[in-house]
Structure 1
């Protein structure tokens, strides 16, 4: 699971963003200040607000980057002046101004995670070879690339991000569609079927996307 360190002192914004990230399936550590020493070890991405009590976000981000230049850093700020953006981008990997739409935040996070993944990150699932950096899928039996479209891509991405975890219909729907799952909605089941038709050797006997009866689904390595 992707672990995000989020530093934001404003409670309403911090609580909102933290809940959004958790709904998307990220593990989040939210800190309201950085006065104490923070060890970014084990963190996959840092989101840092610029205006913080005590040590400001720029100083924190620069220290993180000095300690680990492979840690992606996204700065959040209400400051829109070009001078602030230039200072932020002198060390950080992205700079997003408030207010922002959640979808833009998610998109920027995914871009940073892909950019900082190792090029040789390869996941093997049965007959499939998955390049996790760009979610490129190769059917090794046919030596062909499998193309996913729209929700298929985001659904499989969510499974890969939660590899080996049993996911409920509610978790999958909220994580991919961004909405509350309504009992009786067939959208998820239809997309799972279409995804299996592309990924499975025998869609009627799936071994990539497992059905966990009475609970949901799982992609197991």
Structure 2
């Protein structure tokens, strides 16, 4: 299951695509224009972007999204099939799919992009002595055969790090991605939650190996 930002102004097409994506288990955030798209990129795993949009066209929106989040995969959708249009899209996008298309092809291309960028969380993740089941929202210490229970905020932080696995997240990125508000310099809330989170998931919280601290940069979970 992935979190998808879908930008398309045609409501009939949007409803059809959203149904296809949700049936597969994905979460979909839909926008009818690219006006607020940059504000949403930290919340999602992949962007599906139509070329013909009101206001800024899809090419302009896509370039802005890539600048804001370079590692975020973008799949362009367009009825424009010329080589020039495809090349223009692929200057920044990771894939370009022309309309009309089969739903199976759309889903397959999404899966490929998610695997390529490692933003996709599988049904089970092994992290040393713990096993994470993201879809079930469960964490199990398989050495002790005990389930680990997190508070709501601890769970959100852990899931956000997992969704951005192998990526170093600054405290500002992590705070704004979880709390959905601007980070205020000096706020210790994130550090306190991570300390308690490590006490639950790490063998030795003083020497963490699951939630790594990258000195001077931020935090990371490596898969």
Question: TM-score normalised by the shorter chain: which range applies?
Answer: 0.5 to 0.7
> Hey, what does 1:19 align to over in structure 2?
38
Q: Distance in 2 between matches of 1:13 and 1:70?
A: 24
Q: In angstroms, what is the RMSD of aligned CA positions? A: 3.4
- 8 Å CA contact 1:2–1:161 kept in 2: the answer is no
Q: Distance in 1 between matches of 2:79 and 2:205?
A: 54
Q: Distance in 2 between matches of 1:15 and 1:68?
A: 21
Q: Distance in 2 between matches of 1:211 and 1:24?
A: 22
Q: Distance in 1 between matches of 2:107 and 2:170?
A: 36
Q: 2:179 aligns with which of 155, 173, 177?
A: 177
CA 1:183–1:140: 2 relative to 1, 3 Å: same
- 8 Å CA contact 1:18–1:28 kept in 2: the answer is no
Q: Structure 1 unaligned runs (5+)?
A: 44-58, 73-116
CA 1:29–1:138: 2 relative to 1, 3 Å: same
Q: State the TM-score, normalized to the length of structure 1.
A: 0.59
The list of structure 1 runs, each at least 4 consecutive aligned residues, that deviate by more than 3 angstroms after superposition, is 1-5, 66-72
- 8 Å CA contact 1:129–1:140 kept in 2: the answer is yes
Q: State the TM-score, normalized to the length of structure 2.
A: 0.59
- Secondary structure of the structure 1 residue equivalent to 2:33: helix
- 8 Å CA contact 1:166–1:216 kept in 2: the answer is yes
Q: Quick check: 1:28 aligned with 2:32?
A: no
Q: Structure 2 unaligned runs (5+)?
A: 11-30, 53-77, 87-93, 111-119
* Residues 51-97 of structure 1 deviation map (CA, whole Å, 9 limit, x = unaligned): xxxxxxxx96xx5435467899xxxxxxxxxxxxxxxxxxxxxxxxx
Q: Distance in 2 between matches of 1:172 and 1:31?
A: 29
Q: Distance in 2 between matches of 1:195 and 1:158?
A: 13
- 8 Å CA contact 2:4–2:44 kept in 1: the answer is no
Aligned residues, how many?
Answer: 156
